[in-house]
Amino acid sequence: MIDQYGRKIDYMRISVTDRCNLRCRYCMPEDMAPAKQQEILEYEELLRVCAAAVELGICKFKITGGEPLVRKGCGAFICRLKELPGVEQVTLTTNGLLLEENLDLICRAGLDGVNVSLDSLDEALFRALSGGRGSAAAVLSAVRHSAERGLKTKINTVLLEENRDQVESLAALAAELPVDVRFIELMPIGFGRAMRRVGPEEVLEKLRGRWPDLEPTEEKRGNGPAHYYKSAGLQGRIGLIDAVSHKFCASCNRIRLTGTGQLKPCLCYDTAADLRTLLREGGSDEELKKAIACCVAAKPRAHSFDSPRDITEKKAMSQIGG
């Protein structure tokens, strides 16, 4: 589908749950009540949405959450999505804690890649950022196993004041392993609004101290807006995702389905198509397609992260899927 600004929309992020086994400070607070189970779309409903989306030219899907792997049956869902005619790519974003035990299943399903979020290799800081849950060692072990299995693996780190000192050690994982390490600018969504942003220029400066030959590369490494850097000393690439300081809305290719079945044209605004009601009130496949097409048609030209009062989205990132 081509939207009103000439952008090709072929990618959908699907949140399968708003629950999570971590409480990353910028994403999900301790006391957030999850949606009721009946409010979350069933896998069958998700597959119906995906089938309709495929017919409209959306052929790439990212499974997200909350933490997608805390939802029972997520691996089997990935299998079924991969088998849906017209689906070209299915990838997963996860905090990695349940990845190792799911690796067999998702590799067999033919998952096309996994993004593992990891904000610190220092255990004390990891726990300070994750609400005292999980461990960096467990995530790292999953990353190693995933890369060993030949699964395309990327590490995503949100840049915060607290983890500034972790940048070099996290980037060094791209030297040790064939993984890309991406640094993401904090977005003013949900709890990210109250936290201070660290600019990506700082990352480059630091990393050039260690890998002086770091240089931009035009290689296409995924579906997203990251720009990548390479060095002879690195197996993987370093990616920067600077959604706020360098708006990349002109090349936006995506829509987002929340766990509760709201289809969002843009992360920044609270507008959404209520696919759950449509699905549960007997909407036909044609009506579903029409609702998806309307959502694409409603994609705004750009976000307004630089103008806080124009950000109308009030949900936490864990309720949207990132």
In the block, tokens 């726990």 appear at 127
Binding residues among 68-107 for ligand SF4 as defined by CB under 6 A: 95
From ligand SF4, ligand SAM, none, interface partner of 192 (C-beta below 5 to 8 A by class): ligand SAM
Spatial separation of the C-alpha atoms in residues 36 and 40, rounded to whole Å: 7
Query: Among candidates 140, 15, 12, 108, which has minimal Cα distance to 68?
Result: 15
From ligand SF4, ligand SAM, none, interface partner of 225 (C-beta below 5 to 8 A by class): none
H or E, element range at 205:
helix 200-210
Are residues 8 and 58 in contact, defined by beta-carbon separation less than 8 angstroms? Answer: no
Spatial separation of the C-alpha atoms in residues 274 and 19, rounded to whole Å: 20
| Residues in touch with ligand SAM (CB under 6 A) | 20, 26-27, 64-65, 67, 93-95, 117, 156, 158, 184, 186-187, 189-190, 192, 317-318, 321-322
Nearer to ligand SAM, 200 or 321 (CB): 321
318 binds ligand SF4 (CB under 6 A): yes
Nearest approach, Cβ of 65 to ligand SAM (angstroms)? 5
Are residues 291 and 227 in contact, defined by beta-carbon separation less than 8 angstroms? Answer: no
Q: Mark 220-236 as b/e (b = at least 16 C-beta within 10 Å).
A: ebbbbbbbbbbbeebeb
Among 66, 188, 224, 261, binds ligand SF4 (CB under 6 A): 66
Stretch of residues binding ligand SF4 (CB under 6 A), selected from 62-70, 104-112, 203-211, 216-224: 62-70
Stretch of residues binding ligand SF4 (CB under 6 A), selected from 60-68, 217-225, 244-252, 274-282: 60-68
Q: Residues with Cβ < 8 Å from 167, sequence gap 6 or more?
A: 157, 159, 183, 202, 203, 206, 207
Nearest approach, Cβ of 95 to ligand SAM (angstroms)? 4
From ligand SF4, ligand SAM, none, interface partner of 311 (C-beta below 5 to 8 A by class): none
Nearest approach, Cβ of 293 to ligand SAM (angstroms)? 26
In the block, tokens 């629950």 appear at 19
Nearer to ligand SF4, 117 or 163 (CB): 117
117 binds ligand SF4 (CB under 6 A): yes
Nearer to ligand SAM, 65 or 261 (CB): 65
Nearer to ligand SF4, 95 or 166 (CB): 95
Query: Dmax of the chain from CA atoms?
Result: 59
Spatial separation of the C-alpha atoms in residues 143 and 211, rounded to whole Å: 22
Nearest approach, Cβ of 15 to ligand SAM (angstroms)? 7
From ligand SF4, ligand SAM, none, interface partner of 23 (C-beta below 5 to 8 A by class): ligand SF4
Spatial separation of the C-alpha atoms in residues 76 and 79, rounded to whole Å: 5
From ligand SAM, ligand SF4, none, interface partner of 156 (C-beta below 5 to 8 A by class): ligand SAM
Spatial separation of the C-alpha atoms in residues 183 and 203, rounded to whole Å: 8
Nearest approach, Cβ of 142 to ligand SF4 (angstroms)? 13
Nearer to ligand SAM, 90 or 291 (CB): 90
Residue spans of alpha helices (H) in 29-187: 43-55, 74-83, 99-109, 123-129, 136-148, 167-171, 173-176
Number of other CB atoms surrounding residue 207 within 10 Å: 23
22 binds ligand SF4 (CB under 6 A): yes
Three-state SS at 150: coil
Which residues of this chain interact with ligand SF4, rule CB under 6 A? 20, 22-24, 27-28, 65-67, 95, 117, 317-318
